[in-house]
Chain A
Amino acid sequence: MASTAKKQGVGSVIWEYLTTVDHKKIAILYLIAGGFFFVVGGIEAMMIRIQLAVPNNDFLSAGLFNEMITMHGTTMIFLAAMPLLFAFMNATVPLQIGARDVAFPFLNALGVWLFIFGGIFLNLSWFLGGAPDAGWTSYASLSIASAGHGIDFYALGLQISGAGTLISGINFVTTIINMRAPGMTYMRMPLMTWTTLVASVLIVFAFPPLTIGLFLLIFDRMFGSSFFLVETGGNTIIWEHLFWIFGHPEVYILILPAFGIFSEIFATFARKRLFGYSAMVFATIIIGFFGFMVWAHHMFTVGLGPTANAIFALATMAIAVPTGIKIFNWIATVWGGSIEFTTPMLYALAFIPSFTMGGVTGVMQAAAPADYQYHDSYFIVAHFHYVIVGGVVFGLLAGLHYYWPLMFGTMLSEKLGKITFVIFVIGFHMTFLIQHFLGLWGMPRRVFTYLDGQGYNTANLISSIGALMMAIAVIILVINIIMTIAKNQKVGRDPWGDGRTLEWSLPLPVPYYNFAQIPLVRGLDAYWIEKKANNGRMMPSESLEDFHMPNNSFIPFVMSFGLFVAGFGALYFASGKDWAIDAVSGLPVHPWAPWVLGLGLAITIGAMITRSVKDDLGYYVTKEEVLRDLEEEERRAK
């Protein structure tokens, strides 16, 4: 059965987490794994900045530098930013819509394990013959020529973790469509739920093209096909299209949930209803839709022709309109509010100018002729770090402080949080503002060093010092987390005091069944309404009765592990074969590879059959147990 608040041994806690299907525990898994990869990606970033701090540096070799930039980008996007957003989505969305769990708890667990195994697979490349080195976009003209197995780790690792992401996306869409509490109409859903919905829809449509693109790469590199081999009729532009058909929606998949987190924070700490709620919702949907119509703006310099460039330039500029609507609505929300400067609110306020700067440089690049000038320079690096760090990472840090009590029942130190904030924001602008100018002065991106006397020295040094400050800020954050866990000072219901949405109406720690009775929602900001119009208690929509919960399962772990094993089989399949591409045909033959591939797939398929054949009917939480919990909570409140 599921967890109860009993004292448990270490072994049973680990087993509980390996088999859990509870969205709150899965959120913690995402947070831990995503946090770990965030630190890994951050170390890679520091390596890059150390190498570039002074001209003619030989801290990293050219090859290792390529591996660093590739793994930094890939890790941060796929293994840090997205999982951390999934952590907050899992922690909040079912609570915000008044559900006891997500629509497919089993698939939720499968998603997190696929991501974790995919991430481990990708990072094992460091120890097994070299990491991928063709950039996070892995353009086929480069990746086909990349010797060794680095690119294979990239393709297979992303394939595994991408499957997990797709599954989670489907799960969230279904949950939000089908599991809302009575009264929770679409136009009463908190913005975090809305942005999760739109981001999940983008995942559903954007990840399949990536799957196909990665398969093309896998087949070319490991099974001897010739999609990208020009001498047998292949075409590398296909990879660029498929990658960006996925890649552009991907940045919206990242930024939209961050928008959601900020919208919640602005309303809470300005103590005002979100300004222009319906405009915010429609702006979110429009951004999501346009996100699919602009991918070729990453390919202006490929030579698609002026007509194609013009169409995509126009569509790209159009996205600035709904984004602008959002920015103005946030400002109007804060305007005249009774503002409380908590750490999350500070990040939210710093986000507005930072993200706007990234957005404005985006519109500059949308002008296709001008983009010929910016393309492949540090201007681009500065632009996307302004939107991704200034938008997504600020959102993650704000969300971490804001939702920490909801996830763990304790508060992160506000004092250390504010110190982190100041150092991080200053460091961030120091690192990336100057890179705009570096780009305009002509420094190309993805070069491992530069010569003395080109005028890049001071700017690069400033940038590296800024990066160091961000690293220090993250270290302080880690100290903050460790101290908070060690102190373990529990907080009660609504710890921020101004919670507006349903998740704050719950006792902390949240019971494993979330709601003793599914609440009745009477408007936007459901909890706030009850605070003002009632005694601050949600009205139940059902009588107190037994209710149904899903069983824990170890199968998701096994299924993901099977694919992890199969990955190694596929990886070494082409080594030393005469039909293989030049990059791997010279490597030693691994005769066991097909067997490992078969074994891994057999494990996965076996797990799937087991899942199908066994009836998994879940169990019932009894009325008596819920009543006991409610009494216990009453006692603690006194």
Chain B
Amino acid sequence: MAHMEYNVPSERWPAHPETATMEGKNKFIGFWIFLAGETTLFASLFATYLALKDSVPGEDHPLAADLFALPLAFVMTMFLLTSSLTSVYAIYHMRNNNFAKMQLWLGITVLLGLGFLSLEIYEFIEYVHHGHTFRSSAFGSAFYFLLGTHGFHVVIGLGWITLLILRNARRGISVYTAAKVNTASLYWHFIDVVWVFIFTIVYLLGVM
């Protein structure tokens, strides 16, 4: 009777360690379903934003075209896109059973994510100085709620990946931890998917 093996010897390391166990497969399917639910969550946010865009109480309140700066949004996009690639590298090394490199690439992903987050905070502070706040108008509320929910996802993703790096530091890589890393990476990619729509709909269409 084969009891559970967490540390599979390298000659029997499966081609897809993340779905090699029943639990892994459950996590994989369950998480995709969760992401599908997130699409309608973000759809509601985008819809609300589009309905309330530039809906402000008075003439003196700044509008989207006055506020948004493309260079900053471009740099933020680069940070997030690159972090998506680095987490692809982490998964590549996970499948090759290369623990040290996996941890390294996860670490780089976190750093890039932190870069994105600090730029976003800087951006928000700028807007607040221009009088565009969460409470100033319906436009402000919708903008900060959409961007804030995405930013919150980034924070959760960073906390999650950091926690995984720390908790796995001692344990190494196994079919049990591989499933965890894979889910976190799917989550991170999804954050990037949402950002693609944010920079297109909020920033690019916003400044036009």
Contacts and interface: CB of A to CB of B under 8 A. Distances in A.
Contact of A232 (B38, B138, B160): B138
A296 to B, nearest CB: 13
Contacts of B57: 231-233
Contacts of A225: 134-135, 140-141, 145
Interface string A13-26: 00000000000000
Q: Which of A209, A232, A245 has the most CB of B within 10 A?
A: A232
B138 A209 contact: no
B55 A207 contact: no
B51 interface: yes
B36 to A, nearest CB: 6
Contact of B44 (A103, A224, A226, A245): A245
Given A224-B134, A233-B55, A216 B3 contact: no
Given A103-B30, A104-B30, A212 B48 contact: yes
A460 to B, nearest CB: 40
A177 interface: yes
B40 A209 contact: yes
A178 B25 contact: yes
A229 B55 CA distance: 11
Given A204-B36, A233-B57, A174 B26 contact: yes
Contacts of A242: 44, 48
A520 interface: no
A170 B33 contact: yes
B185 to A, nearest CB: 15
A441 interface: no
Contacts of A235: 51-52, 55, 138
B15 interface: no
Nearest to A237: B51
B163 A612 contact: yes
A546 B3 CA distance: 8
Nearest to A200: B33
Contacts of A216: 48, 145
B44 A234 contact: no
B55 A617 contact: no
Contacts of B140: 225-226
A166 interface: yes
B163 A208 contact: no
A617 to B, nearest CB: 7
A620 interface: yes
A431 interface: no
Contacts of A59: none
A322 to B, nearest CB: 22
A171 B139 contact: no
A418 B148 CA distance: 56
Nearest to A102: B26
Residue among A179, A235, A579 with max Cβ neighbours from chain B (10 Å): A235
A213 interface: yes
Contacts of A170: 30, 33-34, 37
Instruction: Bin the interface of chain B by size.
Output: 35 or more
A205 interface: yes
B4 interface: yes
Nearest to A223: B134
A632 interface: no
Given A204-B36, A215-B145, A242-B44, A226 B30 contact: no
Interface string A617-631: 100100100000000
A239 to B, nearest CB: 10
Given A205-B37, A232-B137, A617 B163 contact: no
B9 to A, nearest CB: 19
A209 B34 contact: no
B201 interface: no
Contact of A233 (B4, B33, B138, B145): B138
B30 A212 contact: no
Nearest to A220: B141
B30 A166 contact: no
Interface in B1-58: 1, 3-4, 6, 22, 25-26, 29-30, 33-34, 36-38, 40-41, 43-45, 47-48, 51-52, 55-57
B138 A226 contact: yes
B142 interface: yes
Given A238-B52, A615-B176, A226 B137 contact: yes
Contacts of A174: 26, 29-30, 33
Most buried by A among B33, B36, B47, B135: B33
A171 B47 CA distance: 28
Pick the most buried of B34, B41, B141, B142: most chain A CB atoms within 10 A of its CB.
B141
B167 interface: yes
A173 interface: yes
Nearest to A201: B33
Contact of A209 (B41, B141, B167, B180): B41
B3 A620 contact: yes
B26 A233 contact: no
A609 interface: yes
Contacts of B1: 545-546, 623
Contact of A205 (B26, B36, B51, B134): B36
Contact of B141 (A104, A179, A226, A548): A226
Interface in A584-636: 609, 612-613, 615, 617, 620, 623
B44 to A, nearest CB: 4
Nearest to B3: A620
Contacts of B37: 166, 170, 204-205, 207-208
B188 to A, nearest CB: 16
A418 to B, nearest CB: 42
A104 to B, nearest CB: 6
Given A204-B34, A208-B41, A233-B57, 18 more contacts: A170-B33, A170-B34, A173-B30, A174-B29, A177-B29, A178-B25, A204-B37, A205-B36, A208-B38, A212-B44, A212-B48, A226-B138, A226-B141, A227-B52, A232-B138, A609-B163, A612-B164, A612-B167
Interface of A: 103-104, 166, 170-171, 173-174, 177-179, 204-209, 211-213, 215-216, 219-220, 223-227, 229, 231-235, 238, 241-242, 245, 545-546, 548, 579, 609, 612-613, 615, 617, 620, 623
Interface of B: 1, 3-4, 6, 22, 25-26, 29-30, 33-34, 36-38, 40-41, 43-45, 47-48, 51-52, 55-57, 134-142, 145, 160, 163-164, 167, 171, 176, 180
11 contacts: A178-B26, A209-B41, A215-B145, A225-B134, A225-B141, A227-B138, A232-B137, A234-B55, A235-B51, A235-B55, A612-B160
